[in-house]
Amino acid sequence: MNAYLLFAAAALAEIAGCFAFWAWVRLDKPVWWLAPGMVSLALFAVLLSLVPSDAAGRTYAGLWRHLHPRIPPMALAGGGPDPGPLGYQRWSDLPRRRLDDPLRPAWLSDRLDRPEPWCNDICMCGRYALTATPEDILQFLSVIDIEDFPPRYNIAPTQPILVVAASERERPGSNLPERRALLARWGFIPGWVKDARDFPLLINARAETATEKASFRAAMRHRRILIPTSGFYEWRRPPKETGLPSQPYWIRPRRGGLLAFGGLLETYASADGSEVDTAAILTTKANATIRGIHDRMPVVVPQEEFARWLDCKTQEPRMVADLLQPAADDLFEAVPVSDLVNKVANMGPELQKPISLADPVAPPKTLGQMSFF
């Protein structure tokens, strides 16, 4: 039966039941009025149970959009035209698509195209870049082979990102490489999630609590990864009373080259049987260089510790806890850049062009209230 019809019947049953109870209490109706009320509520529960969970979510989203058209459809149980599993049009095409042409739900694009406070408030490290050549990445991460890809200057959540994980060696003496490179969706989905469309976007994991949280505990023990990067973006937000806009910074290695963030990987299997690799970046408290911009920063795994970090068979989380500390104060430099990075559609090298910061100008005082200062 059509989900809309089931919902309509359930709603009518609920209204009838509530009216019966209201009439008995407020209109002093006989007690037998409670009988049809209880039957109506029981019918409501039965009808609601007949609606499949995915259809229920989509139907609710469709009804809600009629009442609240300004609410983005994908924010409500995955509405919109053929969103596909997890909000993508075709997840199966993800590994074969170019890295600079990611598929992303329209509602999330709208959120990411807004100024930076969304990423600054909810997620630390919500944008980063990978502009090195594939050859440099191969040498830095000691992987056998990766496909060619263009420089990426503005990597945003839900886009496919390059990650490196330990390979599964079948037997001693195997000639398989120790590490493998793969693409994963930036946005971690734990394996126990039933419907990813109702699950919040987890692009970061706090290193201090990752071993305790149900979402990340298993991945922290069994699926630690490296995420190569050329640097990341962060926003410094002045006090609201100043009225000044937030200032984006391009935070890059002071000596250039590549770095690797510590991350977590989870392969999520959706209800239709498709699978997708998802990832999150671990964060820790900021060092002295970044503390003036944000109180958190990504975990940076030193190159000499790659093997220990990726070795999930012999290295338990407590054995690699020392790698979750803030990076050295002299590792990064913060370069002020323009607000072009606020919009994910901007993907060129001009995003990292330094700008000179003008002296802040205080907003004009209003004349509506006198002040002693």
**Which SS3 state, helix, strand or coil, does residue 31 take?**
helix
What token pair was written down for 226?
Answer: 């490296």
**345 class by beta-carbon count within 10 Å (0-12 exposed, 13-18 middle, 19+ buried):** exposed
Distance in angstroms (rounded) separating the CA atoms of residues 97 and 79: 24
Nearest alpha-carbon partner for 179 in 149, 140, 234, 208: 140
Q: 186 forms bridges with which residues in the sheet? A: 279
Q: Return the active site residues.
A: 125, 234
Nearest alpha-carbon partner for 236 in 356, 317, 371, 119: 119
Bridge-based pairing state of the strands 231-236 and 247-253: antiparallel
Distance in angstroms (rounded) separating the CA atoms of residues 358 and 236: 15
Q: CA dihedral in degrees (118, 119, 123, 124; nearest 10)? A: -140
> 173: left (phi > 0), else alpha (psi -120 to 50), else beta?
left
What token pair was written down for 101?
Answer: 């042409």
> 87: left (phi > 0), else alpha (psi -120 to 50), else beta?
left
Distance in angstroms (rounded) separating the CA atoms of residues 51 and 1: 9
Q: Which residues contact residue 231 at a Cβ distance below 8 angstroms, ignoring those fewer than 6 apart? A: 128, 129, 250, 251, 252, 253, 259, 332, 352
**Which SS3 state, helix, strand or coil, does residue 106 take?**
helix
Distance in angstroms (rounded) separating the CA atoms of residues 138 and 147: 10
